[in-house]
Amino acid sequence: MLLKPDSRILIFVVAYNAGKTLASVLDRIPPELRGRNVEVLVIDDFSQDNTFSVGLAYENSAADFPIRMLRTPENQGYGGNQKLGYRYAIEHGFDIVALLHGDGQYAPEQLPALLEPLLRGEADAVFGSRMLNKTDARRGGMPLYKWLGNQVLTGFENRMLGTRLSEFHSGYRLYSVEALRQIPFERNSNGFHFDTEIIVQLVQRKLRIFELPIPTYYGDEICHVS
């Protein structure tokens, strides 16, 4: 049963040099999320390609749900861009913010499933994990050295934090905005360490992190978010 069916949801897309993939990411946002208290925010982190104009075309033409396109005045980095999006979610009164990557690394089709624990009020953050079913990542094409490295690092990080997360480095994250209000995420790194720092802050505040499996795609490994 959904405790919070009327939650206002922000789908926040971090985009850097994502001109070739952004349209596809936006098109793949599932139909059931369109027009239901859901808005999209794309922040182009000072890309050098046509990311902004691709997103602007969607802003100007999207009839079924609002898409807002912003461009930073200078490159902020992956963490810096996230800070802006979460601040936007707080200032505009959203209840949930779901992070997507403009390079298509994480499947927008998974959004409804990942939103469920937040809509049921059972979690403060939901992470899509590639490692919940340990062999899925390998079957998806993750190289063995990366899989092993991930397992060792995750084991160490869990021991340090007293947690039992299956992985710390997936970028597929959804947060309750109320939870974000309670942590000083604006003090975090502007780079990739942001993702680990926010986990530490959530754990410190005893906020509930829920993991759900997501498919791994190891095709084109170029990550464009910073």
In the chain, the amino acid numbered 169 is: H
Which x/- pattern, by CB under 8 A, does the window 145-184 give for another protein? Answer: ----------------------------------------
Pair 94, 160: CB distance under 8 Å: no
Angle subtended at Cα 81 by Cα 85 and Cα 186, rounded to the nearest 5 degrees? 75
The only residue of 23, 70, 132, 212 in contact with another protein, by rule CB under 8 A? 70
30-35 long-range contacts, Cβ below 8 Å, gap at least 24? 30/108, 30/109, 30/111, 30/112, 32/112, 33/9, 33/65, 33/111, 33/112, 34/64, 34/65, 35/64, 35/65
Q: Among residues 46 and 217, whose Cβ is nearest to another protein? A: 46
Cβ 186 to another protein shortest distance, Å: 5
β-pairing, 67-71 vs 38-44, is parallel
The residue ranges of DSSP E strands in 3-124, in sequence order, are 9-15, 38-44, 67-71, 96-101
Q: Among residues 36 and 87, whose Cβ is nearest to another protein? A: 87
Look at the chain and count its residues.
Answer: 226
Q: Among residues 17 and 82, whose Cβ is nearest to another protein? A: 82
Q: Rule CB under 8 A: say whether 61 interacts with another protein.
A: no
Q: Among residues 27 and 91, whose Cβ is nearest to another protein? A: 91
Cβ 146 to another protein shortest distance, Å: 30
Q: Rule CB under 8 A: say whether 93 interacts with another protein.
A: no
| CA–CA gap between residue 65 and residue 40 (Å, rounded) | 8
Residues 185-224 close enough to bind another protein by CB under 8 A: 186-187
Number of residues interacting with another protein: please give it, by CB under 8 A: 16
Q: Rule CB under 8 A: say whether 43 interacts with another protein.
A: yes
Cβ 175 to another protein shortest distance, Å: 15
Look up tokens 């902020």; give the residue: 76
Q: Among residues 28 and 87, whose Cβ is nearest to another protein? A: 87
Pair 81, 72: CB distance under 8 Å: yes
Summarize as ranges the residues that interact with another protein (CB under 8 A).
43, 52, 56, 69-73, 76, 83-84, 87-88, 91, 186-187
